[in-house]
Amino acid sequence: MIETVGTSSREAILETVGAILDKNYDKLFEQVNDVVRSSGDLSVFWQDLISFYRDLLIFKTASRGEIYLDLTDHETEQIREIAKRFRKETLLYHCKLLEDALFAMQRANAVKRIVAELTLVRLCDESLDTSNEALLSRIADLEDRIALGTISNPPQVKKSVKQETVTHPEKPVCETAKPTDAKRALYPLRNWKEVVERLQNSDPVVAGFFKNAEAYRTDGGKYLIRFRDPFSATMAMNGNGKLALQTALSTLLKQEIREDLICTETVGRQQKNDLDEIIESIDNA
């Protein structure tokens, strides 16, 4: 007979998992506080939580998960309904976090309460973790939202945002940046630093070429990556560089960024600053 979550803590486990799904941080801290105040061992509670996740994973992956567990009909239905709210990638990611936390609790001088609370917060928000498991969970969520058509259009940029007029751009690296675009409105991509940081975690070599680049959103809804020289553009976008960039942009912007929306161009090392543009506009007036 396979061991499952103990009946004495089952309601607490159900409430904890529900709070994770709902990202209810107050409830999560309350659950940890209740276990500590009742003189319960957080390690035991944590093991019950891991066992419950194991049950969820079985129902998520097996066609007849109930035959592998010793559960009542009511408990089986509870597990089945909760499993529907999880993706397989998220369950695997959560299981790894829970196991790592259990090992941390078992170390000498470990403060179990802090370990538990920090882990529960991370379970609610994959963006706080840059591991492969967390990234896979977020990608799976993005794919689901794309399939369901729930991704909203990118917000419109306010008119007060600084616009840049580009004249006579050099030959673009990819076909989506057309040399016939004499003037374009470019809006600096505020998340670019975070994009580069994510690329640094996945491919430090490629990230080095993106680090000195600048990123903009065009008025046509495309994303322009501007490099200082053709060599950097080629090295950054060759191989898996463009796919890694597409994934990082989609994850941080929380919307699908298609490959054809990503353009590159080189502008050389000397670029006009704001003062140069003002002087030029006065001279041309």
Boundary of a domain, candidates 148, 172, 194: 148
Quick check: is 103 in a domain?
Answer: yes
Q: Are residues 109 and 204 in the same domain?
A: no
* Burial status of residue 78 (CB atoms within 10 A of its CB: 0-12, 13-18, 19 or more): middle
Tell me which H or E stretch contains 225.
strand 223-227
Q: What is the pLDDT of residue 20?
A: 93
Quick check: is 234 in a domain?
Answer: yes
Structure tokens at 109: 């001088």
Count how many domains the chain has: 2
Q: Are residues 131 and 24 in the same domain?
A: yes
Boundary of a domain, candidates 99, 119, 148: 148
Q: What is the pLDDT of residue 24?
A: 93
Q: Are 203 and 130 in contact (CB under 8 A)?
A: no
Q: What is the pLDDT of residue 65?
A: 80
Q: Are residues 223 and 126 in the same domain?
A: no
Q: Are residues 139 and 196 in the same domain?
A: no
Under DSSP, is residue 148 helix (H, G, I), strand (E, B) or coil? helix
CATH of the domain at 87: 1.20.272.10
Q: Are residues 26 and 81 in the same domain?
A: yes
Q: Are residues 11 and 114 in the same domain?
A: yes
Quick check: is 2 in a domain?
Answer: no
| Host domain of residue 214 | 186-283
Quick check: is 157 in a domain?
Answer: no
The DSSP letter of residue 183 is: -
Quick check: is 175 in a domain?
Answer: no
Boundary of a domain, candidates 148, 170, 194: 148
Q: Are residues 143 and 80 in the same domain?
A: yes
Q: Are residues 39 and 143 in the same domain?
A: yes
* Residue 64: partners with Cβ closer than 8 Å, 6 or more residues away: none
Q: What is the pLDDT of residue 45?
A: 93
Beta bridge mates, 216: 188, 224
Structure tokens at 13: 């486990």
Quick check: is 131 in a domain?
Answer: yes
Quick check: is 163 in a domain?
Answer: no
CATH of the domain at 253: 3.30.300.180
Q: Are residues 191 and 105 in the same domain?
A: no
User: pLDDT truncated to tens, each residue of the chain (285 aa)?
Assistant: 334 444 447 889 999 999 999 999 999 999 999 999 987 789 999 999 999 999 999 888 888 888 888 888 888 888 889 988 888 888 988 999 999 999 998 886 778 999 999 999 988 887 655 565 555 555 655 655 555 555 554 444 444 444 444 444 444 444 444 444 446 688 888 888 888 888 877 777 788 888 888 999 888 888 999 988 888 888 888 877 888 888 888 888 878 888 888 888 888 644 444 544 544 454 444
Beta strands in 62-220 (DSSP E): 186-188, 214-218
Q: What does DSSP say about strands 262-266 and 223-227: parallel, antiparallel, or unpaired?
A: parallel
Quick check: is 128 in a domain?
Answer: yes
Q: What is the pLDDT of residue 61?
A: 86
Q: Are residues 65 and 144 in the same domain?
A: yes
Q: Are residues 113 and 194 in the same domain?
A: no
| CA-to-CA dists, residue 92 to 22, 30, 53, 189, 244, angstroms | 18, 25, 9, 33, 22
| CA-to-CA dists, residue 59 to 62, 87, 163, 194, angstroms | 6, 11, 52, 36
Q: What region, left, alpha or beta, does residue 149 occupy, with left being phi > 0 and alpha being psi -120 to 50 degrees?
A: left
Q: Are 159 and 187 in contact (CB under 8 A)?
A: no
Q: What is the pLDDT of residue 94?
A: 92
Q: Are residues 132 and 261 in the same domain?
A: no
